[in-house]
């Protein structure tokens, strides 16, 4: 399956015809020892052994083997998104190695300035030594990719353009097909914006605004482009803001003469230009100045079957200005600004939840190991009382003991499903059930996969346990590391049953509230 940065818009429409794209998690204790997940071609085949600090027989959640050297083992953990396990080993690493992994982890935690400060000296050292040996190519690829992402998310267009070009030049031959797809947009689009000024944001107070579910089943929010009202899709993991040409013309924006042809956005060739929006407002409450956006032709994001025209996409560059974003079940979004001083820091409260990370174009969530289905009813962990409080405390301790599973969260997808890694730990739950073929959401060209249906799955967002029902569970790896290295994909069907869910971009946590 080829990953796309903003292709979720198209994939979610396809999903409405086939089933959809999503993800989820839970965890009853599994009786079977997991077999190794499908391997990325760049990753050595591994087998399961206890993690550092675990006793023999403890449940292991990723593939490592004592036969691998330290660097290969750590890179395997990184590929499996086992960030918490790497972090636990930092103090035992040599200084240069610890600096490298601290920089990579800071990137995943969205601590961008810290990541750049750690990785820049290492990139300079690599450049000074010339071409790295084969054993160091993997490390240079990780370093340069993370550093380029740092600059992009910080809005430093010139540094980001240069960093992505260097990444492509030095290690392009080492990139997988998925990685090449992921790089197409920044490599091609950033040169169009390299001379643009950074975007600025006016101070603002907490606010709420109504949102709509559009014809594709995704969230549209009210925005103003130079005082003209429109509705844009909310896509937090999209690396760029996008605007339809008709809107750019209506607002009198200057569209660049230069254009590039891209393919990975929709799977079809399309020309994209660049513009700068002098004044952009979300719901009349938060104002951005000099917002860079990339201009697509209206026909490239028009869905004839549903008569829906995408007006714009609000991606990470805008969402990053928000301290926290709460989506409620009464069609409202509540926004709280980030803390900017000592007083704000003291008053900034983050609800407990599941820690999340940015890994390329994925949002990866560290989900606590929940009790088996039926052991804890939805809401028990947050309803108060002695037994419930004790369960909540135990769930909250899971992350510190390493009892977590990594899931992809797709807030623009519409269905949750679990991968073969989940199945390996829960195979006995499906004894006697009938297996059916399941078409992967967003990948209708991928052959249908054998799958069971989990009647009830418990998801643990930190101390809060949520029960979701009738979740497809793949029984075999699909050969795509982006899926096979996680336990599932959490989509809107799981999130929509909640009273609210909050993305806190300061604490990097996803917290949820069950309905009463």
CATH of the domain at 460: 2.40.70
* Residue whose pair of structure tokens reads 């990975």 in the numeric block: 264
Residue 310 lies in a domain: no
Residue 503 lies in a domain: yes
Cα distances from 471 to residues 24, 94, 175, in angstroms, run: 8, 44, 33
Residue 347 lies in a domain: yes
Distance CA 380, CA 362 (A): 30
Of 149-158, 199-208, 331-340, 506-515, give the lowest mean pLDDT range.
Answer: 331-340
Residue 384 lies in a domain: yes
Residue 106 lies in a domain: no
CA torsion 293-299-301-306 (nearest 10°) is: 150
- pLDDT value of residue 438: 92
Residue-wise over 250-259: b if at least 16 C-beta within 10 A, else e? ebebebeeeb
Q: How high is the mean pLDDT of the chain?
A: 78
User: What proportion of the chain, given as a percentage, has pLDDT over 70?
Assistant: 76
**Do 232 and 223 meet the contact criterion of CB atoms below 8 Å apart?**
yes
Q: Which strand (E) or helix (H) includes residue 386?
A: helix 386-396
Domain that holds residue 453: 342-513
Average pLDDT over residues 360-366: 88
Question: Is the predicted pLDDT of residue 134 greater than 70, yes or no?
Answer: no
* Residue whose pair of structure tokens reads 């993690």 in the numeric block: 51
* Confidence band for 247, pLDDT divided at 50, 70 and 90: very high
- pLDDT value of residue 102: 97
> Bigger pLDDT: 56 or 510?
510
Nearest Cα to 423, choosing from 38, 49, 84, 22? 38
Average pLDDT over residues 96-113: 95
Residue 439 lies in a domain: yes
At residue 187, what are phi and psi to the nearest 5 degrees?
A: -65, -40
Encode pLDDT of 466-497 as tens digits: 898 899 999 999 887 778 889 999 988 888 88
Question: Is the predicted pLDDT of residue 400 greater than 70, yes or no?
Answer: no
Distance CA 394, CA 403 (A): 11
The tally of domains found in the chain comes to 1
> Bigger pLDDT: 346 or 280?
280
**In sequence order, what are the beta bridge partners of 291?**
277
* Confidence band for 440, pLDDT divided at 50, 70 and 90: confident
- pLDDT value of residue 494: 86
Question: Is the predicted pLDDT of residue 32 greater than 60, yes or no?
Answer: no
How do the residues of the chain divide into helix, strand and coil, expressed in percent and rounded to 5?
Answer: 35, 25, 40
- pLDDT value of residue 296: 95
* Cβ neighbours, 10 Å, residue 68: 17
Encode pLDDT of 37-53 as tens digits: 333 334 433 333 333 43
- pLDDT value of residue 386: 42
* Confidence band for 16, pLDDT divided at 50, 70 and 90: very low
Question: Is the predicted pLDDT of residue 235 greater than 80, yes or no?
Answer: yes
Q: How far is C-alpha 376 from the chain's CA centre?
A: 28
- pLDDT value of residue 348: 53
Average pLDDT over residues 83-95: 92
> Bigger pLDDT: 154 or 135?
154
Encode pLDDT of 273-297 as tens digits: 999 999 999 988 899 999 999 999 9
Question: Is the predicted pLDDT of residue 442 greater than 70, yes or no?
Answer: no
Question: Is the predicted pLDDT of residue 388 greater than 50, yes or no?
Answer: no
- pLDDT value of residue 354: 93
Residue 176 lies in a domain: no
Residue 242 lies in a domain: no
Question: Is the predicted pLDDT of residue 373 greater than 70, yes or no?
Answer: no
User: What proportion of the chain, given as a percentage, has pLDDT over 90?
Assistant: 43
If you average pLDDT over each of 12-16, 51-55, 180-184, 438-442, which comes out highest?
180-184
Average pLDDT over residues 320-334: 86
Question: Is the predicted pLDDT of residue 387 greater than 60, yes or no?
Answer: no
Q: Would residue 211 be called left, alpha or beta, if left means φ above 0 and alpha means ψ between -120 and 50 degrees?
A: beta
Question: Is the predicted pLDDT of residue 17 greater than 70, yes or no?
Answer: no
- pLDDT value of residue 55: 35
Question: Is the predicted pLDDT of residue 65 greater than 60, yes or no?
Answer: no
DSSP symbol at 29: P
* Confidence band for 508, pLDDT divided at 50, 70 and 90: very high
> Bigger pLDDT: 377 or 404?
404
If you average pLDDT over each of 187-201, 219-233, 292-306, which comes out highest?
187-201
- pLDDT value of residue 15: 31
- pLDDT value of residue 131: 63
- pLDDT value of residue 234: 84
* Residue whose pair of structure tokens reads 């069907």 in the numeric block: 493
Distance CA 60, CA 70 (A): 18
Q: How far from each other are the two terminal CA atoms of the chain, in whole angstroms?
A: 39
Distance CA 451, CA 448 (A): 9
């Amino acid at each position: 399956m080829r990953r796309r940065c903003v292709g979720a818009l198209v994939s979610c429409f396809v999903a409405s015809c086939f089933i959809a794209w999503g993800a989820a998690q839970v965890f009853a204790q599994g009786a079977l020892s997991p077999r190794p997940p499908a391997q990325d071609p760049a990753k050595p085949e591994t087998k399961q052994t206890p993690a550092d600090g675990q006793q023999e027989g403890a449940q292991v959640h990723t593939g490592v083997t004592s036969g691998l050297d330290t660097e290969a083992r750590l890179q395997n953990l990184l590929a499996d998104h086992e960030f918490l396990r790497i972090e636990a080993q930092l103090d035992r690493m040599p200084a240069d190695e610890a600096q490298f992994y601290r920089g990579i982890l800071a990137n995943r935690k969205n601590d961008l300035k810290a990541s750049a400060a750690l990785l820049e000296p290492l990139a300079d050292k690599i450049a000074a030594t010339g071409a790295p040996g084969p054993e160091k190519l993997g490390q240079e690829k990780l370093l340069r990719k993370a550093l380029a992402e740092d600059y992009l998310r910080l809005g430093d267009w010139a540094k980001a353009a240069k960093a992505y070009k260097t990444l492509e030049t030095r290690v392009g031959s080492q990139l997988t097909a998925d990685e090449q797809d992921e790089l197409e947009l920044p490599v091609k689009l950033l040169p169009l914006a390299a001379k643009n000024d950074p975007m600025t944001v006016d101070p603002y107070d907490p606010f709420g605004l109504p949102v709509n579910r559009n014809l594709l089943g995704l969230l549209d929010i009210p925005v103003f482009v130079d005082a003209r009202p429109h509705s844009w899709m909310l896509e937090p993991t999209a690396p760029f803001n996008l605007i339809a040409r008709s809107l750019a013309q209506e607002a009198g924006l200057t569209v660049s003469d230069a254009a590039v042809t891209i393919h990975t956005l929709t799977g079809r060739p399309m020309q994209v230009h660049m513009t700068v929006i002098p004044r952009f407002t979300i719901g009349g409450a938060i104002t951005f100045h000099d917002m860079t956006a990339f201009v697509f032709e209206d026909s490239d994001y028009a869905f004839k079957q549903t008569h829906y025209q995408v007006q714009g996409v609000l991606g990470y560059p805008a969402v990053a200005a928000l301290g926290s974003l709460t989506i409620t079940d009464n069609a409202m979004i509540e926004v709280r600004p980030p803390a900017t001083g000592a007083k704000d820091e003291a008053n900034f409260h983050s609800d407990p939840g599941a820690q999340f990370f940015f890994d390329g174009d994925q949002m990866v969530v560290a989900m606590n190991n929940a009790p088996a289905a039926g052991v804890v009813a939805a809401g028990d962990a947050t309803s108060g009382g002695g037994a419930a409080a004790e369960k909540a405390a135990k769930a909250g301790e899971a992350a510190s003991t390493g009892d977590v599973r990594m899931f992809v969260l797709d807030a623009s997808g519409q269905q949750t499903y679990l991968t073969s890694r989940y199945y390996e730990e829960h195979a006995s739950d499906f004894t006697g059930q009938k297996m059916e073929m399941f078409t992967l959401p967003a990948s209708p060209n991928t052959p249908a996969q054998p799958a069971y249906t989990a009647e009830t799955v418990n998801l643990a967002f930190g101390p809060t346990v949520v029960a979701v029902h009738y979740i497809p569970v793949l029984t075999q790896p699909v050969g795509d590391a982006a899926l096979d290295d996680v336990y599932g994909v959490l989509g809107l069907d799981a999130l929509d049953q909640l009273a609210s869910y909050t993305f806190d971009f300061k604490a990097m946590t996803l917290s949820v509230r069950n309905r009463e």
